[in-house]
Structure 1
């Protein structure tokens, strides 16, 4: 059975309209995010992963949407995107996501990309087994 993963990030449609996202990532727009996500999803499928995506807003419904996604099935890996983690305005959302993952998917490995085009690299640090730090 192929390893399952959930990729979680901001809805690309929101990237251009959010002042905090634009300030945190001035070089990245919605098209860059969409292209990076699509390419990485294809790469992960080539590597044998089944991939589901969870797109969030900046708050409001984000927690409920994330809880619903984690409740649908058991995931081996959850990747929380840089757009959530590295935007100072979304720190609380990131904290909620980590705690929710620990609650609803305690067996899932957490990994983090640094851009839309580094998701496969982040996942490969954990599969088939965790890579050493040194």
Structure 2
């Protein structure tokens, strides 16, 4: 059994993102960066995984299901979930799902896909 701290970062699935509104970012670049972040966290000794949300309608249930299945030590909610104003209600749902179903987890936030490890390390 591993003693590594369990970390999950929550973000939009690339199929749910309108990349025309995000200069210099594509689905391929996003996935590559997320995998790089996951690998970096694992190399730092964490047990990290990615949780994609697919729609505003299913975001809450997706997060609740994940929180019920795994006792995470840290949950990172990505900038794409919290920053664009149209996603504010999804962000609110995600925070409440984490708060209710993973009360032991620290919650952290990145500012872009490149500072995920630093965001996690602030709290875990």
Q: TM-score, normalised by structure 1?
A: 0.85
Question: How far apart are the structure 2 equivalents of 1:70 and 1:30?
Answer: 26
Q: TM-score, normalised by structure 2?
A: 0.91
1:38 matched to 2:35: yes
Q: 1:4 aligns with which of 6, 23, 46?
A: 6
Question: How far apart are the structure 1 equivalents of 2:24 and 2:86?
Answer: 18
Q: 1:58 aligns with which of 55, 58, 72?
A: 55
Superposition pairs for residues 52-91 of structure 1, below 5 Å? 52-91=49-88
User: Across the two proteins, how many residue pairs are aligned to each other?
Assistant: 122
Question: How far apart are the structure 1 equivalents of 2:97 and 2:15?
Answer: 24
1:119 matched to 2:116: yes
Aligned to 1:28: 25
Q: RMSD between aligned alpha carbons? A: 1.3
CA contact (8 A) 2:59 2:94 kept: no
Give CA deviations for 1:94-116 in whole Å, capped at 9, x if unaligned: 01111111111111000111111
Gaps of 5+ in 2: none
Aligned to 1:98: 95
Gaps of 5+ in 1: 128-134
